[in-house]
Amino acid sequence: MDFPILSVLVLLPFAAAVIVGLLPSRRKELYLPVGIALSFLPLAASIWLFAVFKTGEGAFQFVEKTTWYAPWGVSWHLGVDGISLLMLVLTTILVPISLAASTTISKRPKQFVVFNLLLEGGLLGVFLSLDLFMFFVFFEVILVPMYFIIGVWGSDRRIYAAIKFFIFTAFGSALMLAGIIAMALMYGRQTGQISFDYLDMLNLQMSYQTELWLFAAFALAFAIKVPMFPLHTWLPDAHVEAPTAGSVMLAGVLLKMGTYGLLRFNLMLFPRATVDAVPILAVLAVIGIVYGAAVAIVQPDLKKLVAYSSVSHLGFIVLGIFALTSQGLQGGVVQMINHGLSTGALFLLVGMIYERRHTKKIADFGGLANVMPLYAGFFLFTALASIGLPGLNGFIGEFLVLIGSFVTLKWFAIVAASGVVLAAVYLLWAYERVFTGPVHNPANEKLLDLNAREITMLGVLAAFMLLLGLYPKIALDRIAPSTELVLDRIEATTTYEVPYPGRIADIVGVSAHE
């Protein structure tokens, strides 16, 4: 591929941020529209990428490699495979939407748009980098715009939440940095040339002991990001205090950096440690599923409810990944997208009602379906998608995760299935309390239903939920070859064998990536 589409994709948001930054400060009304308009460029690029991506190929496509600093063996190495492709599309869809949801931001609007665009650039860099140094750069630099978005434009306890978010995630990645340095130097000792290249790291020889330590360093960084129980305590604070756009990006994409990292780095680079760590991570994932759901049930605050539901849903993704079966991995990746769409939409919905009523307390509402029928409809649709109603996207992901993990982690899958039931409890119960019955609070009688802008935003997300629910093949065709490669790698480097029927290859009879 001659045209450096991936570099363009990563650099477009940064360029957009500069353009918005240079807008004259007396034209305040321009910042948001220009920012939204510019954020359509990466969206167009990622959709084009999705269209021309070769399905049935698991390896990286559109690979670009340019030396960044040769003596350190660092290069600007980008590539996209089935796992990252959908993350790119998700990111680029959510950015214009979350910007469009920020019309009420009046404080320093220019910086707000700039930070959102920088965030997008960093996220795209994370999902595209095939160099551990570059990956870390993007992984870490994302903290700064998110820190500002929470800290400047958040609600009352925003400063506490912003600092907690920053320190927690920085703590995790600090040890990963040490791990990355160790790997690069180890590679240098083995081959004579230091390298941070992801593909080189796949050839790294290391003792089992070293592999365990490195696995732990990477897993800690990603487990905090996911976040996995018991490292999740930053999440409710950050999600609740962040402005709507921040919550959408945080839940929609930032958390996926953790699961993406586990899949891309832990499974691929440390397969032996992965196989042995499955029980630990599966236990934590299942605890997260049940605990997150149980806590969500009792939340009096709608936004907090959605935040805790993320802990539960992310547990499903981790369980699917560490099931180490075709279905589990695919389900995990699909669920990353699903969660981004449905939780993103839920945070948008919470934001919309908060803009109207300046409260997120469930007890303050009741009977809203009478005054805001469209809003209620979208809420119910999204809640059902999130619960996993067949025909909508959540079903595909959870179903794949559950059958995939049932093969290898039977009892975990059984306990995890209760998370689906609990999801129905917290979301439908919340729906009941907010929307059904008569309007008993006079403040709610005059609420306006959704306007065209809000309908567009939610409509786009709902359309994708429906599309993935009815025709998941467009996603799975692209994901499956890449996740099969992960399993190939694990089976080739360890004694682990995926039991029947955990591999597509076993069922279809051919290796899917050939």
Partner 1 sequence: MSDIVNVSYLAVGPEIILTLGAVAVLLVDVFRKPSPRVHAWIAGFTLALAGVVAGFQWTAEPSVSFSGMISIDRFGTLATFIILGVAALGLATAWGMVERLGRRGAESIVLVFMAAAGFQLMATSQNLMMIFLGLEIASLSLYVLAGISRERVQADEAALKYFLLGSFASAVFVYGVALTFAGTGHLSILDLRQFFATYVVLRPGVTLAAMAMLIIGLAFKVSAAPFHVWAPDAYQGSPAGIVGFMAAAAKVGAFAALARILIAGFPFYQDVWSDGLALLAAISITVGMIMAIAQTDLRRMLAYSSVAHAGFILTALLGGPGGLAAVWFYLAVYTVQLIGAFAVVSSVAGPMGAQSPLSDYTGLADRSPFLAGALALFMVAMSGVPLTSGFVAKFAAFASAWAAGYEWLVILAVLASVAGFFFYLRVIVLMYMQEPAVAEAPGAAPARFQAVGAVRWVLLIAIAVTLLFGIVPGPLLDLVRNALPL
* Site residues for partner 1 per CB under 8 A: 68-69, 71-72, 108, 133, 136-138, 140-141, 143-144, 147-148, 151-152, 158-159, 162-163, 166-167, 170-171, 174-175, 177-178, 181-182, 184-185
141/466 with CB nearer partner 1 = 141
Q: Smallest distance from the beta carbon of 174 to partner 1, in angstroms?
A: 4
Q: Smallest distance from the beta carbon of 181 to partner 1, in angstroms?
A: 5
Q: Smallest distance from the beta carbon of 2 to partner 1, in angstroms?
A: 24
112/496 with CB nearer partner 1 = 112
138/464 with CB nearer partner 1 = 138
Q: CA angle, 114 as apex, 109 and 116 as ends, to 5°?
A: 100
148/291 with CB nearer partner 1 = 148
CA 287 to chain centre: 20
159/508 with CB nearer partner 1 = 159
Q: Smallest distance from the beta carbon of 162 to partner 1, in angstroms?
A: 7
Rounded distance between C-alpha atoms, residue 183 and residue 22, angstroms = 41
Residues β-bridged to residue 78: 64, 129
39/129 with CB nearer partner 1 = 129
Q: CA angle, 177 as apex, 174 and 178 as ends, to 5°?
A: 95
14/431 with CB nearer partner 1 = 14
Phi, psi at residue 101, to the nearest 5°? -85, 0
Q: Go through the chain and tell me how many residues it has.
A: 514
Q: Smallest distance from the beta carbon of 69 to partner 1, in angstroms?
A: 5
What sign has the CA pseudo-torsion 370, 371, 377, 382?
negative
Rounded distance between C-alpha atoms, residue 19 and residue 41, angstroms = 13
Kindly give the pairing relationship between strand 61-69 and strand 74-80: antiparallel
Q: Is 128 within 8 Å of 79 (Cβ atoms)?
A: yes
Rounded distance between C-alpha atoms, residue 144 and residue 166, angstroms = 8
63/137 with CB nearer partner 1 = 137
Residue 246 amino acid letter: G
DSSP annotation string for 374-410: HHHHHHHHHHHHHHT-TTSHHHHHHHHHHHHHHHH-H
- Half-sphere exposure for 305 (CA within 13 Å, toward CB): 26
Place of tokens 């007890």: 363
Phi, psi at residue 186, to the nearest 5°? -65, -40
Q: Smallest distance from the beta carbon of 227 to partner 1, in angstroms?
A: 16
Q: Smallest distance from the beta carbon of 387 to partner 1, in angstroms?
A: 37
Q: Smallest distance from the beta carbon of 38 to partner 1, in angstroms?
A: 20
Q: Smallest distance from the beta carbon of 305 to partner 1, in angstroms?
A: 26
122/481 with CB nearer partner 1 = 122
Rounded distance between C-alpha atoms, residue 275 and residue 343, angstroms = 31
> What are the structure tokens assigned to 119, written together?
């965030």
